Each structure stands twice: as structure tokens, then as C-alpha cells.
Amino acid sequence: MIRTKRLMLGSSAIIALVSTQSSWAETITYGYDSLGRVRTVSVSGGPNAGTNTAICYDAANNRERYVTTVAGAAACTPSPYPTPTPSPTPAPSPTPTPTPTPTPTPTPSPTPTPTPTPPPEDQCYSGGHWIPCP
């Protein structure tokens, strides 16, 4: 008799374990866009039942963020972050213009004094001038 009770107790524990596992079963549904990227994930059944996730992408097709809700559909809305406004570019401070250095004036080379050319035969040199010979 004792043997029978143990067998019944063991079989009822197995049945309880199997029925508990079936309540944990969940179905995950994935939604894709035209580029083949995962856009939505919905969970039904199991401990995460009702969880919906939207996967948001930026303009360069990079995953930007995940939006998860427990009730209702999750959706990607425009980024909640403010669009950064560019800071004004500071005006460049004036740079001092360098003062040009004067170009040195070349010193003229001395002009050579002319050497007298020999005059025609009827000329004589007198007093620094050529004059007709007497």
C-alpha cells in the first residue's frame, strides 16, 4: 500500500510541472520593413505577454533607440531630444598686419671718369680741352 501512494504522488508532481510549463509558453512576432530590418517585436503569452517593442532607425539606417510598452502598440516618434542649434562661430580677432620693412636702395656704383681718346692729329690738349693745334 505504501508503494502505491508514492507512485501516485510522483506522477501528480510530474503533471503539475508539465501544466506549469505550458503557461510559460510565449509567442514572439517580429515585424520587418521594406529594407528587411526588424521594426517591431510583440510578445504574447508567458510572463512577458503584452510587451511591444519598436526599433527606431536614424537617417543613416543605424539603430537609434528602442521604444517598449507593456500595453498598446509601441511606435517610433521623432527624436524627443531637441535638435541642437549650431553655436555661432566666434568672429576671428583681427590679426595685426606686419609693418613692411623698407627695401634698401642700392648704392650706385661710381661712374668711371672718361679717359680722353686720342684726338685727330690736328688737335692738341690744353687746359682740359682739345683745341686745334697752332
Within a domain: residue 101? no
The answer to whether the Cα torsion of 48, 54, 57, 58 is positive or negative is negative
Within a domain: residue 83? no
| Strands of the 27-32 sheet, one edge to the other | 27-32, 38-44, 52-57, 63-69
SS3 call for 116 = coil
Predicted confidence at residue 29, as pLDDT, reads: 95
User: What residues make up the domain containing 38?
Assistant: 25-78
Within a domain: residue 30? yes
Predicted confidence at residue 12, as pLDDT, reads: 53
Tens-of-pLDDT digits for all 134 residues of the chain? 455 555 455 555 555 555 555 667 899 999 999 999 999 999 998 888 899 999 999 888 899 999 998 888 888 877 655 566 777 777 777 778 888 888 888 777 777 777 666 656 677 777 777 777 76
Facing residues of 41 across strands? 30, 53
Within a domain: residue 19? no
Within a domain: residue 134? no
pTM above 0.75, yes or no: no
- How many structural domains compose the chain? 1
